[in-house]
Amino acid sequence: MNPNNDNNNRLSSSQPIIIPFRMILPITSIGTFISAMDGSIVNVSLVTIANALNTNMEGVRWIAIIYLLIISALIGIGGSLGDTYGRKMIFQVGMLIFIIGSLFCAFSPTLELLILSRVLQATGGAGLMANGLALVITYIEPAVRGRAIGINSLVVASALSSGPFLGGMLTEYVGWPSIFLINVPIGLLGIFLVQQFIPETPQKKIQFDYKGMIVFIFVTLSLVQGVLTIFKGEAIGGILLLMSFIGGLIFIYMESIHPTPMISIRIMQNRTILVGMISSFLCYMVYYSIVFLLPFYYQEVLSFKQSQTGLLMVVPPLAMAVMGPFAGFLAEKVEAKRSTALGAILLSAFVFFLSCLLLIFPINNLEIVFLIVPLIALAAGSLTTFTVSNGTSMMNNAPKSDVSVVSGLIGLSRNIGFALGTTVSSSFFALFFVLNNPNNITSGNIFIQSYYTSLSQTFFIFALFAFMSAIIAYLRGSSQNFA
């Protein structure tokens, strides 16, 4: 018997379909994992790619940033398409586009073509991220929603953290194109499994918010480029930030009058969902500052190889794997505002300790790694505590008809946090490094001391961001369950 025929027959009946999350999660997690992983897999390889494509770090940084921004811009559209044509179909189409984009990335001979290929890859990734969790929520029992969301959040966080490890190993031993080619067989397997074992979801006709998507892309690109340039003291940075602010106001107005907006202002009026998005954005921005900056520190200061750097960066996902099940249980038993605030305040504390460690430790002692790595692991576990409770709280406050929309908002806040975490952390570090090393000395103790001090100051700023997130997270309203 064909599983899809049986599923389709049940779908047409009044009896809701229930799929054990132990079955549906591994299948959808394939797409979720590779789309999230490609947001960070390039980080360790940026120096190698820059040399191969004859460009500088300023240009090659856009390989990471553009992927996150395009996913952020399109993830709402991906959710709307899933509601209209079926979440299963858009998930599979997204996977196919992602595979094609990955192939183009691997064979791009220039930086410009690689960036354009990353845009295509991100377009497919948006369909995966918007509909992966939505498929899970559609077909599992409400009683295990917290655990399912917890494992899904663990998959995303593990993918983002393991990206540098896998990227470092592949780049050093196979070559940088392999970090994109690895997506092809995994993606094809994902398409097959989804087709075989997951039924299609109900569909509804909606009007796509293409204008909102265009304005959102303009706002985010202006914001990122404005931040990058204003830290250099260029006046154009202020102009770009002003344009981003004005564009943001226009975007809010457009979304408020659109019948099916990219970002629902109506849903954002729910305090729990709004607070969840803001606090999630801040926490992910803080965490990604660590994931982005530390590989450069390991290679530029401690002279580690890419494979060694990648091995160190596998510690956070291992910590998340340990913390994930407990975090899911906590999300089901403890009030969301308390568990989310706890996760965020612990994240702030461990990033602050990391800042202090870098400031006081002897600069020529490699033993610092044995102190840095546990702190990163604790920070990763704290992030898991926050994200699982926060995601569960947001999804429990989502009306059933808007599950895809809220799932998209969770992905949106995460990806905007990653994009700005990359942008803001690198900008703060560059600013502090110029202040601490005004003569631009590139070697010796002065260079190393300046690097440590600048990294410490940057992480101190981000510890404050995490503390802000804890305060905001505690302000969420009373939970409602729309299951």
* Contacts within 8 Å (CB) and 24+ apart, 323-326: 323/380, 323/381, 323/384, 323/385, 324/150, 324/151, 324/153, 324/154, 324/384, 324/388, 325/147, 325/150, 325/151
pLDDT one-digit tens code per residue, 45-84: 877 888 888 876 667 778 888 888 888 778 777 877 887 8
- Asked if residue 480 belongs to a domain, the reply is no
- Asked if residue 79 belongs to a domain, the reply is yes
214 and 183, same domain (yes or no): no
205 and 215, same domain (yes or no): no
- Asked if residue 479 belongs to a domain, the reply is no
pLDDT of 455 reads 92
**How large is the greatest C-alpha to C-alpha distance in the chain, in angstroms?**
73
- Asked if residue 138 belongs to a domain, the reply is yes
Q: Which of 214-218, 226-230, 426-430, 436-440 has the lowest mean pLDDT?
A: 226-230
With a pLDDT cut of 70, the percent of the chain lying above it is 89
Rounded CA separation 342/385 (Å): 8
> Do 466 and 288 meet the contact criterion of CB atoms below 8 Å apart?
no
pLDDT one-digit tens code per residue, 271-297: 888 888 899 989 999 998 888 888 888
85 and 172, same domain (yes or no): yes
Q: What is the DSSP string of 267-310?
A: HHTSHHHHHHHHHHHHHHHHHHHHHHHHHHHHHHTS---HHHHH
Number of domains into which the chain is organized = 2
199 and 221, same domain (yes or no): no
pTM across the whole model: 0.75
Rounded CA separation 156/162 (Å): 10
132 and 72, same domain (yes or no): yes
What backbone phi and psi angles, to 5 degrees, belong to 435? -70, -40
Length of the chain: 483
193 and 169, same domain (yes or no): yes
CATH of the domain at 355: 1.20.1250.20
pLDDT one-digit tens code per residue, 121-139: 999 998 888 888 778 877 8
Rounded CA separation 86/219 (Å): 29
- Asked if residue 134 belongs to a domain, the reply is yes
Q: Name the domain boundary from 222, 257, 292.
A: 257
Q: Name the domain boundary from 192, 225, 257.
A: 257
Rounded CA separation 380/384 (Å): 6
- Asked if residue 429 belongs to a domain, the reply is yes
95 and 239, same domain (yes or no): no
Range of the domain at 386: 16-209+258-474
- Asked if residue 11 belongs to a domain, the reply is no
Residue 193 CB contacts under 8 Å (≥ 6 apart), including other chains: 27, 30
10 Å CB burial of residue 439 (0-12, 13-18, 19+) is exposed
106 and 225, same domain (yes or no): no
- Asked if residue 1 belongs to a domain, the reply is no
> Do 311 and 371 meet the contact criterion of CB atoms below 8 Å apart?
no
313 and 398, same domain (yes or no): yes
119 and 76, same domain (yes or no): yes
> Do 298 and 304 meet the contact criterion of CB atoms below 8 Å apart?
yes
156 and 298, same domain (yes or no): yes
Rounded CA separation 418/117 (Å): 20
Q: Name the domain boundary from 222, 237, 257.
A: 257
299 and 225, same domain (yes or no): no
Rounded CA separation 225/220 (Å): 9
> Do 300 and 360 meet the contact criterion of CB atoms below 8 Å apart?
no
Q: How far apart are the first and last CA of the chain?
A: 31
Average per-residue pLDDT for the chain? 81
Mean pLDDT across 375-392: 87
Q: What is the DSSP string of 197-219?
A: H-PPPP-------HHHHHHHHHH
Positive/negative CA dihedral, 243, 246, 249, 253: negative
